[in-house]
Amino acid sequence: MAGSDFLSLRQNERELKRTAHILNIVAKFGMRSVVERIRIGEKLHLKVGWQQKENIEKTTEKARLRMLLEELATTFVKFGQILSTREDLVGQELADELAKLQDSMRPFPSQQARHEIEAQLGKSIKEVFSSFDDNPIASASIAQVHRAMLKNGKAVVVKVQRPGIEETIREDTQIMHYLATMLDKYVPEMKHWNPKLLVDEFERSIMKELDFQREAKSAIRMRDNFSGEKGVYIPMVYEHISTSRVLVMEEARGTRLSDVIRSNLGKYDKTLIARRGADAFFKMVLEDGFYHADPHPGNILVMKGNVVCFLDFGRVGSVDKELAMSMLRLVTFAVDNDPRGLVMQLSRMGLIDDGVDVEAFTEDMADLLDTYYSRKLEEVQMGHLLRGLFSVTDKYGVRSPRAFTELSRALFILEGVGMALNPKFNAFAEFRPYASRAAALAYSPKRLETIIRDNILDVEYMVKTFPGTLRKIMNKLESGEMKVELVHTNLASLAEDLDRMSNKLSLAMVLAAMVVGSSIVIGTSPTLGRVGFAISFVLGLWLAVKILLYRPND
């Protein structure tokens, strides 16, 4: 047996069973050949059934993958969902397909929820809550949410993890690591997906999401950032009764945004809600540098007075000032239809490698911007535009940094929500005041230092592109393709100049001859010599004045 293939799989009964189950489902979705090629069945002595779903060939590969993950549930649904936010890794099309994954699961028995809460808090339910609702209000792959009431009468929600979810996820990720290694080895056409990297990245994200203490901290930080804002609300976290697996929060009373979107009642001011949501998002990104990375309608409630309440801080992103300014500049160049500026900005961000054909890249950017430029700004979607930019960079093998694609994705989600609420919604309009504030900040004396640094980056851009340009010139020279064209612009005046110059030169030579001649004759014929010197002197003086006072247009 090839040892290294099995290092990552402990091969206990449970894991083998789960692996066989996974392979069965993979085959079911018409990927039998993949299972056969990684020869995993024989290696692990697994019996794999080859039952294929009817008509499965008719669906696209991407849709099949999404359905497969849905059927595998739990960890795999999370895997798909997390990857749907990582366009930088999976590309736009697959990301969009994976975004359709629904994360709702059959609830687990409330008895188990109570048990888990008690074990986590080290106290009985009765000691902490005066009432606890056994019917969950939501149930997803990681956790479910129950309403309850504290002893002091405050209404809360309790988000409690599925019992054993951490072990399940650990086990599944272990199997995923193993499968990724095998795919990498035996299915070369999968290489461009980089399955091992996908699983690594997934593991990192899911472990973060499993830690509710982290989520609690994020919620608290967000609440703090919005403490002064009237139109936005973030529920309070009861930290002293929260653990890494149980999160107790104040219950926000309101309507799910998805219901508000569907509602035809005049009760809600949808335009105001959309504006508040977008304003909040831009504040998070441009002022706080800390944003909700998953602002879909399931994570937003509308409270009394059209107050927008954000929930679920399992996925957050951070933006430093530099990143925010870079994003701002990208959008500005794009809006100004300035592909060169845009490419320069991408280069400043370190995205343009030496190998990239800057000219072709700029042309593609120009084409992209043209498709937007013919439209009015009110018709352009910002998230769409940014994603478009990154798909062009993708084409050139330039991997956009994760922070950018995550932020663009979040903006894209938010913009979709805004437009669902108000078809006329336009992120640019909401963005303007924040952009000008951020730009004002950009030119305040405090930022001078950064500007200087940025200009150094301009030089860096030149230095980066110069060798490439030079190389091209050298190649052309070598192959003899290089022609030099001279275009004369004012040859007539050059001829005149030459004429005048030669006159002065001959005069100088005559002068020199006269001086030498006069010196020779002065001994034998002093008068002639003196006359010669006198004439030389006058001529010399005239020549000297002419030279000293020379002006080009004379």
Ligand X SMILES: Nc1ncnc2c1ncn2[C@@H]1O[C@H](COP(=O)(O)OP(=O)(O)O)[C@@H](O)[C@H]1O
Number of residues that bind Mg ion (CB under 5 A): 2
Residues 287-306 touching Mg ion, rule: CB under 5 A, are: 299
Question: Which of 139/391 has CB closer to ligand X?
Answer: 139
User: Dihedral angle at the C-alpha atoms of 268, 423, 372, 350, nearest 10 degrees?
Assistant: 30
The CA angle 222-226-231, to the nearest 5 degrees, is 130
Question: Which of 128/342 has CB closer to ligand X?
Answer: 128
299: helix, coil or strand? Answer: helix
C-alpha closest to that of 160 among 269, 249, 74, 222: 249
**Helix or strand run (H / E) with residue 291:** strand 290-292
Residues 294-323 touching ligand X, rule: CB under 6 A, are: 298-299, 311-312, 314
| Dist CA 331 CA 381 (whole Å) | 11
Say whether residue 293 binds ligand X (CB under 6 A).
Answer: no
Segment near ligand X (CB under 6 A); pick from 137-145, 163-171, 363-371, 475-483 = 137-145
Q: How far is the CB of 197 from ligand X (least distance, A)?
A: 25
Say whether residue 351 binds ligand X (CB under 6 A).
Answer: no
* Token pair for 115: 């048990």
- Letters for 241-280 (x = contact with Mg ion by CB under 5 A, - = none) are ----------------------------------------
Which listed option, ligand X, Mg ion, none, makes contact with residue 235 (CB within 5 to 8 Å by class)? Answer: ligand X
* Token pair for 516: 């030498």
Question: Which of 92/255 has CB closer to ligand X?
Answer: 255
Which listed option, ligand X, Mg ion, none, makes contact with residue 219 (CB within 5 to 8 Å by class)? Answer: none
* Token pair for 166: 């951490």
**Residue 411 near residue 284, CB atoms below 8 Å:** no
Say whether residue 137 binds ligand X (CB under 6 A).
Answer: yes
Segment near ligand X (CB under 6 A); pick from 136-144, 330-338, 389-397, 424-432 = 136-144
| Residue with tokens 């954000």, as numbered in its chain | 310
Which listed option, Mg ion, ligand X, none, makes contact with residue 34 (CB within 5 to 8 Å by class)? Answer: none
Question: Which of 194/258 has CB closer to ligand X?
Answer: 258
Say whether residue 216 binds ligand X (CB under 6 A).
Answer: no
Which listed option, ligand X, Mg ion, none, makes contact with residue 383 (CB within 5 to 8 Å by class)? Answer: none
26: helix, coil or strand? Answer: helix
Say whether residue 312 binds Mg ion (CB under 5 A).
Answer: yes
Say whether residue 252 binds ligand X (CB under 6 A).
Answer: yes
Q: How far is the CB of 105 from ligand X (least distance, A)?
A: 9
Q: How far is the CB of 317 from ligand X (least distance, A)?
A: 16
Neighbour count for residue 65 (Cβ, 10 Å):
20
Q: How far is the CB of 266 from ligand X (least distance, A)?
A: 24
Residues 157-188, buried b or exposed e (16+ Cβ, 10 A)? bbbbbbbebbebbebbbbbbbbbbbbbbbeee
Is residue 294 flagged as an active site residue?
A: yes
28: helix, coil or strand? Answer: helix
| Dist CA 47 CA 41 (whole Å) | 6
C-alpha closest to that of 324 among 460, 462, 450: 450
SS (H, E, C) 71-126: HHCHHHHHHHHHHHCCHHHHCHHHHHHHCCCCCCCCCCCHHHHHHHHHHHHCCCHH
> What order do you get walking across the sheet with 307-310 strand by strand?
232-233, 307-310, 300-303, 255-256
Q: How far is the CB of 314 from Mg ion (least distance, A)?
A: 7
Question: Which of 77/351 has CB closer to Mg ion?
Answer: 77
Question: Which of 19/141 has CB closer to Mg ion?
Answer: 141
Question: Which of 159/275 has CB closer to ligand X?
Answer: 159
- Residues marked active site are found at 294
Where does this chain bind ligand X (CB under 6 A)?
A: 137-138, 140, 142-143, 145, 157, 159, 235, 249, 251-252, 256, 298-299, 311-312, 314
Where does this chain bind Mg ion (CB under 5 A)?
A: 299, 312
